[in-house]
Structure 1
Amino acid sequence: INIQRPIEKRLSVKALDSVLTQEFASKGINSEFQFGILKVRQDSLTLLKKGTAVAELNKSNYRTLLFPGEVFTGINELRVYFPNKNSLILSSLVGMLALSIGFIALIVGVFLKTVQLFIRQKKITDVKNDLINNITHEFKTPISTISLACEALNEPALSAEKQSVARYSKIIREENERLQLMVDTLLNTASLERDEIKIERKEIDLEVIINTTISKFDEAIRQREGSVVVETQSPNSTILGDKFHLTNAISNLVDNALKFNEQKPEVKLTLSSEPESAVLAISDNGIGIPKESFDKIFETFYRVQSGNVQNVRGNGIGLSYAKKIIELHGGTISVESQINKGTTFKITLPQQ
């Protein structure tokens, strides 16, 4: 008798809703759903959940027969529709999608980092090779000069002339000092990079250091038919500083003034004073420095293109070394320059 009762008498919307909610929850589905029962023979819907979209329910593929073993009652089909099905699917994929995106981002990041390290390593290799080539070239000139001077001293006719012996001995001494300057600059630059340089402050006279420095370049100035002028505008040029490192720093600046010059070099060193500071300006009539390079010339290994100056290969460490030494003394260094007109480096050092 019970099996002949209509479906509306056997089930209720509330009971169906409760059963379906529990079943979906057990499967991890917590999305909103709508349902209804289709009486297949009558082609009509019954037991519709409130708010169900009938048109969408009819198109839904989520359906199943109720009581399929009953042959005497009409065929009843339960249909379920999920209004937020797309959102449900997307939300279920969010975790996997996020993981995939994160994994892809990680791969891309590792790849970019690898490329970056590769480029950096290549630059370091290029700089190293360039530095070796340039230093070899810089060493070659004084070594060749010393070799020629030694050969000249071995000539019997010249060795008998005291004036010639003195001149060639001076050449050897100056070129040897030039080599020593380059070696000291290289070694001290490496120490500066590792913060191993210690400044030994003693009372020194900048004017004495300047005169001592330019005397090392007498032969180079004579060969270039150039001139070096020292002008002292300050009655007091005494500072507390490291004589060795300041001498090397100033020597590098004078060396650059002579080296990067297409004409007879004219170098001027002006010593003046500011409140509680000694100021040294080193000016030349050289090829100049492009304005866009002003912020880069003090970087280690940076080299400005030398234009048409032949056989000039800076090693890219002289200005870097000079700046670091001056800053270790609590001073500053700045540059002013015009292409083909010359360059002026201004050094300010505290006197207290």
Structure 2
Amino acid sequence: MVMGVDILTPAEVMAACTDALGLDATAMDLTAHEALAAALRRTASFRCPITPAGLVALTARPLEGLAGDGPSLRETLAGILESLVASGDLLEVSEVDNATLRRRRMLYLGPPAFVRRSGGAFLLLGVRPEGASLVGESLAVLIEHEHHLRIINAASGTDIATLLDDYGLHEVSQEVWLRCPLMAPAIDVLREKDLHLEAAGPSGEIPGLRLLDAAAPTNYYKGRWREPSARDTGRYVARRTQAYGSDLWCYVEVVGGQPQRFVDFPLDGSLARGADEAWHLQAAIDAVRGHPQRVRVTRDASVNVLSLFAPPPSWLQRRWDRRGLPIAARGALVSYALMPGEVEEELAFVTKMLWLDIDVEV
């Protein structure tokens, strides 16, 4: 018996992979954020628990050459992964490795769940193991993919909530979904973290330390990161490498470029996200220094866009996941389209919680 071998073009391979992820290959290709988010979920369903860096590497490997080159693809995947963790598709846990006795970040599958969005739609959350579908075919065909989000719009005559419950998805209450830190002045947030740092013992050398430079412009997040130099004296949000696992978030005191002491984030338990504490603290530092981070408002008759230039803590992303849609916008790290009637409330929220200044762009 002679077996035939079909030779596929890269475009045909990309279309086949997109279809395999349960997406419409005629509407998007494998480079779309929706497809990359689906690829991360699928890899996680087979490989969790795993480190964030490990998940990005395993997802990127079969996509390289199809969905971009290595470094840029991994950077894009890492950004999408942050959104998946913030929304609850995956859970990030800080835990101690029994073999090395070192703390590391591990990812676990988020439980199947849903949240009611403003406007009556449903936001789907979680990942089932072994590549299993989150819902049955009757609902799967109704799912709309927007960046990292999976949304089912309310259908006339169909009780979507009951069907989701029948498929084993539990409803997350608005109270739980919108939970966030207590509102406080920026100086109080900074002082609280300073007290923890001042109670820490001497650190000695910290391998792979990188500082988030508070003196650098706040409108280019990536450009704020650098290695310590002899001119550095102060306290910084930072990341440090470890032999096994992803980089850890921390708050460090430096004198003449040499670390003196540090505390790792999260401070308040393994289920909190270190990144959330770090980004919240950096917003406080910027505000106290008199150079607050900014939110840009682009107004239109039908929709307004809110753009951020630093990563949002997960509690802010969840809030905007419920009310808006993530989109790409010029020069911004994160942007959401919201209805005009919702914008003022969200601006009031971010100015109080993250002390942001507002730029209005007509």
Q: Same fold by TM-score, threshold 0.5 exceeded?
A: no
Using structure 2 for the length normalisation, give the TM-score: 0.24
Using structure 1 for the length normalisation, give the TM-score: 0.25
Q: Which has more helix, going by share of residues? A: 1
